[in-house]
Structure formats: C-alpha cells, structure tokens
Amino acid sequence: MNFLEERIEKEGIIREGNVLKVDSFLNHQMDIELFEQMGVEFKKRFEGKPINKILTIEASGIGIACIAARHFHAPVVFAKKSKSINIEGEMYVAEVESFTHKCKNHVIVSKKFLTPQDHVLIIDDFLANGCALQGLISIVHESGAALEGIGIAIEKGFQPGGRAIRNLGYPLESLAIIEEMDAKNGTITFRKQI
Ligand code: 5GP
C-alpha cells in the first residue's frame, strides 16, 4: 500500500451511496504534509511533461493543486462554480453535475488565464463518474491549450469515470484507486499499481 492508501484505510469512512469521507485529511481538515507527498508523486508521474499551468475545480481540488503546483513551478487556475453564465464571452464555460451534491453547476474559467500557449495538468481530489473532469477537459480543449495530464488523488474505480477517460486516451494518474468498498463492514480494496 502507498502512503495515501494507508491513510484512506486508517481514516476513511464509507457512507451509503458510494461516498467515501476523507474530511479528516483531504477535503475539510487538510494534511499539508500528505499533500506535499502527493505533490512529489504527481511530479514523478508526469516527469518530463512541459507543464506550465495547473487546472482544478472549486473547492476541494484547490488545496491539493496548490501544493502540487510548487513542484511544477506553475500557477494554479481553479474553475469557479457559477449559477449564472451571463459573463459568457470572456469565460470558458462547462456544465458539471456534482456527484456529492446531486446538482448541476456551471463552471467558468476566465479566457485570460488559459490560452493556446498553455500546457495543462488537471488535478482533482476525487474521480467518480467523471463529470467534473469532463467539464475541465472540455474547457482545456475550448481554450486551445495542450492537456498534458490528469492527476487525481482518489479514484473510485468501481464507478465509470476513470475507465471512460482512459478509453479516450488521456494520461490519467490516480494516486489511490479504490476497487471496492463495503459500507457494512468498512472494508476498502485498492487496485494494485506498479
Ligand atoms: P465525478 O464528477 O467524477 O462524479 O465526481 C467528482 C467530484 O465529486 C469530486 O471533485 C469530489 O468533490 C466529489 N466526490 C465524488 N465522489 C466522492 C466521494 O466518494 N467522497 C467525496 N468526499 N467526494 C466525492
């Protein structure tokens, strides 16, 4: 088991409806030393790629992206959730359905901060059905930037997002991939990674 899998096993709480709570270290209270280890690992997994910008989504991707960004010496842009899209024109817009909140949001990124000259690494905390990621990918494509990779902290491998995105040929790296989790007895099985 790697450092993140160990932490998930120790502190993750499985909720009904395929939700894993990791708010003691990832998305409410944040363990910055763990984020630092994740940053090192993302840098290793995307070594040699000409990444000059990190893109994430509000809110829980931001902390992870910021610590990772130190290793790429790149700024972080986060897609903002917005109920109105009347700022369209100067913004890239995508529609994203939230897995945890079951609602639809528009996410927006200013055209000033993503251009055809950029080489982007997308970072997020979770990958479930892939809706958040598809939104970010569409924004990168619309901007004309090059998508160099996608780094995820926790992928729920039993949900379809990861497979769909790999099938589309995107370089997707998840630090922990959950194969199975059982809310009744609290067990989590991880996919073996080399
Ligand atoms: P997706 O769009 O891939 O279905 O879901 C991705 C987003 O939903 C993530 O950015 C994350 O905020 C949230 N999410 C999905 N599954 C979980 C989960 O099991 N636990 C938590 N805490 N967040 C989740």
Listed range (21-25, 70-74, 84-88, 144-148) with the worst mean pLDDT: 84-88
pLDDT, averaged across the chain: 95
Nearest atom in ligand 1 to 96's CA: 2
* Mean pLDDT for the stretch of residues 31-51: 98
Residue 61 Cα to ligand 1 middle (Å): 10
Q: Where does the pLDDT of residue 87 fall: very low under 50, low under 70, confident under 90, or very high at 90 and above?
A: low
Question: What string of DSSP letters covers 22-42?
Answer: -TTTTSSS--HHHHHHHHHHH
Q: Where does the pLDDT of residue 69 fall: very low under 50, low under 70, confident under 90, or very high at 90 and above?
A: very high
Q: Where does the pLDDT of residue 84 fall: very low under 50, low under 70, confident under 90, or very high at 90 and above?
A: low
Cross-strand bridge partners of residue 189:
180
Token pair 């993503």 is found at 114
Compute the distance between CA of residue 150 and CA of residue 157 in angstroms, rounded to an integer: 15
Residue 82 Cα to ligand 1 middle (Å): 18
Q: Is pLDDT at 85 greater than 80 in this prediction?
A: no
pTM above 0.85, yes or no: yes
Compute the distance between CA of residue 66 and CA of residue 53 in angstroms, rounded to an integer: 11
Pocket test for ligand 1, best of 18, 64, 100 (most atoms within 8 A of CB): 100
Listed range (45-59, 100-114, 124-138) with the worst mean pLDDT: 100-114
Residue 97 Cα to ligand 1 middle (Å): 10
pLDDT at position 88: 59
Closest Cα to atom 8 of ligand 1: 99
Listed range (80-94, 100-114, 120-134) with the worst mean pLDDT: 80-94
Nearest atom in ligand 1 to 18's CA: 19
Compute the distance between CA of residue 114 and CA of residue 3 in angstroms, rounded to an integer: 33
Q: Where does the pLDDT of residue 103 fall: very low under 50, low under 70, confident under 90, or very high at 90 and above?
A: confident
Residue 123 Cα to ligand 1 middle (Å): 13
Residue 95 token pair:
């529609």
